[in-house]
Structure formats: C-alpha cells, structure tokens
C-alpha cells in the first residue's frame, strides 16, 4: 500500500440475538499513502439507528475526500466527522419517522505512520503494541463519566446499566463535541476499532490476543466469530489496521509514552 505499508479490513455482523444490524463500518485507501477506517453503532432506542450509522459512515468517507488535499489528514477527518453529524441531524429533523436517530462514530486515519483519531460515543479504538494493549478512546457514557469523576468504580461501571446511556452521539445535536488525538505508530502495531457489541463480550486482552499476529481480514473474522460464540446479544463490528512495514520513529518510548500523550492537538 505504498508509503502507508498498512493492512486494513472491517467486518460487521448482526450478532446472535438481533434481527437486524444497526452497526456500520467503512474503509478508504487514498493514493497509497493514507488509509482511513471507521466504525459506527446506531442508537438502538432510535427507530433510525441503522439509518444513522450507515449515513454517518457514508458521509464521513465522502466528506473526507471532498476536503482540500492541502489540509493535513487529521484536519480533514475532524471536519468530516462534523459534516457527518450535521447531515444525520438534518435528516432526523426532516423525516418524522427518523426523529431522534443518532449513532456513535469512531474514525482513524493513518498517514505516513501517524495515527489521527476522532471519536464520539462508546465504540472504541485500541492500540496493540507487542504484548500490551491500551484503549485510546474514552467512552462517552453516563457510567464512564461517573467513573472518571470518582463517583463509581471502574469495575462497577463495566456492568452498570448506565454504561449503555450515551452522553454524546452523532446526530443528536447540530454541533457535536469530538475527541481527537494523534499518535506515532511503529512497525508491528495493530489498531482495533469496535462497537460495544464486541468490547462488552470480549476483554481487552482477549481482543488483543485474537487480533495480534493475524492478517487484518482474518483478525476481523476471528474477533466477530469469537463474540458470536459467546452469544453476542448485540450487533458486532470490528475493524483492524496492521502496520506491516517500517515507519520512522518520532521519539523513543513504548506504550506508556502513548498513554502520557493521550491529549492531542485541536483542529478547527
């Protein structure tokens, strides 16, 4: 894949109990030097959850490509997520039966070894480096917010009913607050993007073990298959990016430094 030297794939499944799939995913390889992958999970209480997630992914990919090529990939991604939010919001206002529809959206672009991610909701992005895995995104849920404020323990938050109540989502309001950050990647790194249908069934360590060492497409099939074997009650979506070629190192340091650099640059 040219300068990127990446391998990427995405797979979505309705799971073992749902009658339809409200998750969506998408990938884009641009000029062999840049790759984008995204996961969205429609809000299940909304009649238009499936419409919202599909629309968010489609608009994201289109809007990203429509941004001026002179802009950095991260800027283009940040703007594209907002465009997806506006169009989902406008559609929900215009179509009565879609009122209240919304979706999570977690998107990552890798350009010349640098990851930029933009995130809204409780889908997740993980980095697997060597034998370590770290969740790069923060869940935008009531339970997660309480845990960050010290009002609830992390263990309780993982199983609390409020873990399913989003505090942010694409399409709920005209302007959405988007988390964004950058990372320098290294050869051998694996990125996992997934909906809560996967991370609520498999532990972080299990996901890392299943994805590490496998080609991206096989890793997606293995992750989704493992969730379904556990009786996945929700839709399940996984996207995997593997850095298969060397990239220049920005600075020394392992995954601990990645954690310390969690807050990235802001773009308008």
Token digits of residue 154: 């992390």
- On whether residue 33 sits in a domain, the answer given is yes
pLDDT digits over 197-209, tens only?
A: 999 999 999 999 9
pLDDT digits over 67-107, tens only?
A: 998 999 999 999 999 999 999 999 999 999 999 999 999 99
- On whether residue 267 sits in a domain, the answer given is no
* pLDDT of 262: 34
Q: Is 201 helix (H, G, I), strand (E, B) or coil?
A: coil
Q: Per the structure, how many domains does the chain have?
A: 1
- On whether residue 224 sits in a domain, the answer given is yes
Residue 200 DSSP code: T
* pLDDT of 207: 97
Rounded Cα–Cα distance for residues 40 and 42 (Å): 6
Give CA 245 to chain center in angstroms.
Answer: 23
* pLDDT of 174: 94
- On whether residue 265 sits in a domain, the answer given is no
- On whether residue 119 sits in a domain, the answer given is yes
Looking at the chain, list the stretches that DSSP marks H as alpha helix, in order from N- to C-terminal side. 49-66, 73-94, 142-148, 154-159, 196-199, 204-211, 216-229, 255-260
- On whether residue 186 sits in a domain, the answer given is yes
Percent of the chain with pLDDT over 70: 80
Rounded Cα–Cα distance for residues 54 and 57 (Å): 5
* pLDDT of 197: 95
CATH code at position 126:
3.60.40.10
Q: What does pTM read for this prediction?
A: 0.87
Low-confidence ranges of the chain (pLDDT < 50): 1-2, 251-268
Task: Give, in degrees to the nearest 5, the angle at Cα 109 between 182 and 140.
Answer: 65
- On whether residue 216 sits in a domain, the answer given is yes
| Residues 116 and 38: beta-carbon distance below 8 Å | no
- On whether residue 156 sits in a domain, the answer given is yes
* pLDDT of 147: 55
Q: Residue 226 is part of which domain span?
A: 2-260
């Amino acid at each position: 894949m040219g300068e990127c030297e990446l391998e990427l794939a995405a797979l979505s499944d309705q799971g073992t109990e749902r009658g339809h799939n409200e998750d969506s995913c998408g990938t884009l390889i641009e000029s062999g030097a840049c790759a984008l992958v995204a996961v969205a999970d429609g809000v299940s209480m909304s009649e238009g959850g499936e419409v919202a997630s599909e629309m968010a992914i489609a608009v994201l990919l289109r809007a990203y490509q429509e941004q001026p090529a002179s802009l950095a990939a991260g800027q283009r991604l940040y703007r594209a997520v907002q465009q997806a939010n506006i169009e989902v919001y406008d559609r929900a206002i215009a179509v009565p039966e879609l009122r209240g529809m919304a979706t999570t959206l977690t998107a990552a672009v890798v350009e010349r070894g640098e990851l930029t991610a933009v995130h809204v909701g409780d889908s997740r992005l993980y980095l697997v480096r060597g034998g370590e895995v770290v969740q790069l995104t923060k869940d935008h849920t009531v339970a997660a917010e309480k845990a960050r404020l010290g009002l609830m323990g992390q263990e309780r938050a993982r199983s609390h009913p409020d873990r399913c109540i989003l505090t942010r989502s694409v399409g709920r309001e005209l302007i959405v607050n988007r988390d964004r950050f950058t990372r320098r990647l290294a050869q051998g790194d694996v990125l996992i993007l997934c909906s809560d249908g996967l991370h609520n069934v498999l532990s972080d360590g299990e996901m890392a073990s299943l994805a590490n060492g496998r080609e991206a497409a096989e890793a997606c099939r293995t992750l989704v298959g493992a969730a379904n074997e556990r009786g996945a009650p929700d839709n399940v979506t996984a996207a995997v990016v593997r850095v298969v070629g060397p990239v220049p190192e920005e600075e020394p340091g392992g995954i601990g430094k990645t954690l310390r650099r969690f807050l990235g640059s802001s773009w308008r």
